[in-house]
Amino acid sequence: MTHEVTIHPLVSPWGRFGLYSFFIDAPEPAVVDTGIASSPAEGMAPVLEKLGRSIEEVRWILLTHGHIDHLGGAHALWELTGRRAQVVIHEADAHLLRSRRAHVENYVAVRRQYLRDPNGVAEQTATAQAVISGELEPTVLVRGGETLSLGGDVTVSVHHIPGHTAGSVAYVVDGQRSVFVGDAVQVHGAANGFPGYEDPDAYRASLTYLRDEIRPRHLYLGHPYRSADGKPFGVELNAEDSRRALRESLDLEQRIADASRRYLRDGLRETDSVYSPFEWVANELGYTGDPTREPSPFFTTLHGYRTRFAAGS
Ligand SMILES: [Zn+2]
């Protein structure tokens, strides 16, 4: 590639969160992640217009994973492109694009048993209805290892980096090591102050792979994740900050793994605490955030260690 492809962040607000999408200004323009239902019209279109581009021109919708705040706007964006954009997602998260119900089923399978909120299922159902713009069949299913051509000499390679979800991927603009990872690099978490991942071993392996093999020169995150000192990283990191974010993510995973292993070998203990049955782990880690606030990464992550250590590994 003779010159670097320009990348623009596109921000859409949602409650406590800023939802971040990125515009890759290639001959066939791409948008990485889509926010929620309102994001394409309210967050993306005005910024693209200011850049002298239009949302109709977008030819690629690249989804880093299946969470609602990343794919909720996919159907709306696809409609705004005249249904011409390719919609790309990993096959392990594709059910989350095809079905609103799949999001509720995820909640029921893991978080509900810890949150014990009698209105939880109704709330999850209402949220999926409101923030997912439509159920959609992806046009390109990936597994990692693919190369997508965005026109001219611009290519994007796809790398499977599971852990946060089973179908999390990194998109890498080849030749300039611009790397989009969605939520796969959690550092100390975003608004909830705790990193969220479903599979601890896969999360660690993916962080190591990003550090040693991908070695981002520019790293684009799905949220302004916090550093160890509580200060948020931005969502566009240079090479040095990328290394720091990966190192801090790995360090914290190690601490959580150690605490979980020590605690879980004796089995779970139910207590009156909101952190129950992982109160001891929260104390050990000094975690004082509200674990019941959605998307409750504390319970998602500790459930992963519970599953892992119960399996005897
Ligand atoms: Zn996510």
Quote the ligand 1 centre to 184 CA distance (angstroms).
Answer: 8
Quote the ligand 1 centre to 230 CA distance (angstroms).
Answer: 20
Quote the ligand 1 centre to 224 CA distance (angstroms).
Answer: 13
Quote the ligand 1 centre to 64 CA distance (angstroms).
Answer: 9
Using alpha carbons, select from 242, 280, 241, 239 the residue that is nearest to residue 258: 280
Which two tokens mark 189? 């978490």
Q: Which amino acid is at 116?
A: R
**CB-based contact 134:75 (threshold 8 Å):** yes
Euclidean distance between CA atoms 74 and 39, whole angstroms = 9
The reported pTM is: 0.96
Quote the ligand 1 centre to 165 CA distance (angstroms).
Answer: 7
pLDDT tens for 168-180 read 999 999 999 999 9
Q: What is the pLDDT of residue 1?
A: 53
Q: Which residues of the chain have pLDDT under 50?
A: 313
Quote the ligand 1 centre to 152 CA distance (angstroms).
Answer: 31
Q: Which residue has the tokens 């606030």?
A: 293
Q: What is the pLDDT of residue 313?
A: 46
Q: Buried b / exposed e across 151-182, counting CB within 10 Å, b at 16+?
A: eeebbbbbbbbbbbbbbbbbbbbbeeebbbbb
Q: What is the pLDDT of residue 228?
A: 86
